[in-house]
Structure 1
């Protein structure tokens, strides 16, 4: 790859410091140019406590994503009797993998590319303990590419060995856009921005900035280049749009990924799919220590007495259970004789006259089918067709659409239950000394509808206030030709209507590299982190836009044959809107033996995405360990505070 800053004159470190207005910053921090700071230890025992629990206490972990897996892993290592329940057929949550077919070939599909940054200290510690470091590979550098090359040239991020302010100096030296950052510290607004991003501190930053969205914060005299080049891409990569994201949360995110991070922004990718590379090894370790893992599980009842969970009743089988669930009305689908509920790949159509409904999730590979003028339903991905009652007519799908009936209505939502629950469901009840709730926001809100008995209403209130962010979408394309590409194998993109990143899977993961070597083709993924549903109300619109923008991003692919399309479209990521920090649930809930884990949990130190999920799971495990007098696991973080005062 060519060096993108060759057209700019060289700049010295002293000049870079002056450009940033931090000429004296080096004397204000305890870091030097040559001494890389170590991670901060958030939790470490000061007492000499036993490492293993010997009383056989039972822990039920609900949710098999990274948060639940981390909690179950740690507790199973320490002598607890752990049972992990997961609703889906596969473990992993947002990093799950599942089988798909492309012609005669079988691949493992995912929810989208995930990068493993070097400051994911707690995730990295699990990887080392499991001896699976070889499952990951360095991607060397990371590019940010703009649609309009005349406005901004590509930014390139590489590994670093320095902390603030030297990481900023290095960025200024290497950036081809440094003269377009637009920073002028003689302006009050610019000085305020500089202090905010370099002075992060919990809870002070949230007290000051949690009341305003990022979009509102950057209005007026904000350094435009700084926003376009760094703030906007970072905001959207949190899977929250600037018009809905709390500025306090963005500053936390920014501190974790850059200002408090001495590791740089290059990262690793998995050699194989996420399930094979990470999820399965964690699950194997849980089972090896006596833990039980059940998938395809629907929790039917959570029994609570005297503000303590006593038992979990569940059903195991496919999704056709007799457990009812609530789903909100979708006003964005064109109105016809049906009502539409849900979003992403969890959509339902209801006939208001008969109160009968259909799941609109194609039984082939999970895309959302759309209603046609003749009343039938068509899958936009691979052409499966169903009649008005959901009966399969043609295409690759082998099963009918699941049928539901309306059990209750309330304002803008309905409660659905399967019309024909499976006959072979296995039912069971688990006693619990402790419960870790590690589901996503929709799952957590649903599980609170299954709580029966006596519990603190404050827990219900806080869960009711949780929100989800705008939906995300992933379009993956198998094409019959390769193409030249000078940027990183995963690159952030800016300036497109939908697409926020591109991943060249045929240059990263083994299964796709082998296929490309055999066929001469390529496998490309485009990711939209947080798009607006009103702009792309259907999956057909998402696929069409992804494909159109693919040819804009890679003109060499115009005229290529698309062998296969795969769409992932979900609305289940945590939202961090203004004024949500104060009431966000912490690890320990108001219910005495219920712990929370997940990316929606309030964290006591800066972290994001996968590291936030893993860390929250380990914090939940630590809370249980502490209550039982067992040594807690050391929890690591980047430097939790910025060097300047706000």
Structure 2
């Protein structure tokens, strides 16, 4: 198979589907996809493209899952788009980008964001523009030019421990590192403190968890996916329009053209045995197969309400899935602009809760038009991994105060309107949790699972894990029905540097990090 347009890395790997293993059914198979987020839409496309009769059932009023969007009316009477915040579409998200290309072949809905500074409260600042794309030169130039990697501190780095970041193989890295936290690994490596904050903590918190609650294996895979395992670079794209308009409405039309049915405001309460077909979804009909592509809370709830689904051990495993701590997105429509040099996206470190600041009119057309018309700005703030049971109003105020300390001009701005989203539905990848996470397969060959919480056996994360898992789920069902599956692509499944891998194996015992024994540090 020829390489897709997005796969520029010559070492990217092709993941071929398993050959068809079952007989083709006499009647067209009918599949329900429970969940209309990235994973569910990927599964739906994969099935519908092979002639399966697909119904997507989404409980919310719109598609997109955690990337869904909706309209809101501002205090000035104008209509505006709202969603759950900034998302970066990296160039190595091969399967996600392939999904979007089905409805937007040129990816015209995305615009590049060539640089995104990372700034620490104490002053150090890093940028990713101008770095070589190919490993290991990208890491070498970053270390040589970054103020976060002072030479005197680099001499203290524990090389055997650092080699764990170069010796990544999936799933082997989970066997070696899943039992310890990302914080334990970083402390064992002895990276300079500023480097830990800027080059690692900013990224680890994109998993919606503080480093002490994130598996070190996930950190290593993340480093591999975005940096040392891929030559696609750290440049990413962002949608130029609200998520529904840019991404999900075109994809829904594409699915409709394939004969698939897409139903929103259609919650699935339970799944049981069917009379004329294998599964019954009360209120929605009977189906030969089900793709469970709900978020973690929805998956837990559906498993608890469906005693005939899978088996008891499998349902018990789903019941133990953990959600990450709450996160807050605050979006402000302001009566004056932020300073012209402010970037579209700024990552922050060292603050109590502020993780990044976005200026939406720098890249989104609708916000650019609002800012042009009113002379204002649209600014978005993120706070990941807030304390459980936190006071929303207090967190909003604290987040704004921190943003003013970064962009002082915000203090003089009048707030035309604001919207706040406090959610707690992202998956938690805690130390020691890898084996307990669900895979695509289940005890029932015609029930499959998809989502960014699913084990895929591939070096993927976040939105790319969701898209990849959806296509893997579709492939599993297609094989059962004697139908051809879909080829996937991924960054190399092993570290690119063979000498580093060999050295890591020789020093593995000496450099292995151990779980921390001191109390968890609080951020506040």
TM-score (norm 1): 0.72
Aligned to 2:92: 119
- CA drift of 1:132 comes to 5.1
Q: Report if the CA contact (8 A) 2:20-2:483 is conserved.
A: no
Aligned-partner SS, 2:412:
coil
- Off by >4 Å, runs of 4+ in structure 1: 44-50
- CA drift of 1:630 comes to 1.6
Aligned to 1:169: 140
Aligned-partner SS, 1:182:
helix
Match of 2:122 among 148, 153, 156: 148
Is there any run of 5+ residues in structure 2 with no aligned partner, and where? 1-7, 505-524
Q: Report if the CA contact (8 A) 1:37-1:163 is conserved.
A: no
Instruction: State how 1:384-533 maps to structure 2 within 5 Å.
Output: 428-453=283-308, 455-533=310-388
Aligned-partner SS, 1:488:
coil
Aligned to 1:22: none
Structure 1 residues 162 and 622: alpha-carbon distance in aligned structure 2, compared to 1, 3 A threshold: same
Q: Report if the CA contact (8 A) 2:22-2:481 is conserved.
A: no
- Once the two structures are superposed, what CA deviation does each residue of 1:424-464 show, in whole Å capped at 9, x if it has no partner? xxxx2411111000001100000012214374212112212
CA distance in 1, matches of 2:279, 2:19: 32
Aligned to 2:486: 633
> Is 1:619 paired with 2:480?
no
CA distance in 1, matches of 2:88, 2:295: 20
Higher RCO, Cα 8 Å, sep 6+: 2
CA distance in 1, matches of 2:49, 2:328: 36
Tell which structure's C-alpha radius of gyration is larger: 1
CA distance in 2, matches of 1:119, 1:518: 36
CA distance in 1, matches of 2:309, 2:58: 25
Match of 1:69 among 24, 32, 41: 41
- Once the two structures are superposed, what CA deviation does each residue of 1:134-173 show, in whole Å capped at 9, x if it has no partner? 1111112121112221xx2x21113766432122123234
Q: Report if the CA contact (8 A) 2:442-2:449 is conserved.
A: yes
Structure 1 residues 141 and 455: alpha-carbon distance in aligned structure 2, compared to 1, 3 A threshold: closer
- Once the two structures are superposed, what CA deviation does each residue of 1:598-629 show, in whole Å capped at 9, x if it has no partner? 01101211111111111111111111111112
CA distance in 1, matches of 2:230, 2:90: 10
CA distance in 1, matches of 2:152, 2:225: 21
Aligned to 1:366: none
Aligned length: 488
* Structure richer in strand, relative to its length: 1
Q: Report if the CA contact (8 A) 2:32-2:291 is conserved.
A: yes
> Is 1:214 paired with 2:182?
yes
TM-score (norm 2): 0.88
Match of 1:60 among 28, 32, 36: 32
> Is 1:606 paired with 2:459?
yes
Match of 1:196 among 140, 164, 168: 164
CA distance in 1, matches of 2:234, 2:116: 7
CA distance in 2, matches of 1:492, 1:181: 25
Match of 1:294 among 263, 272, 282: 263
Aligned to 2:219: 250
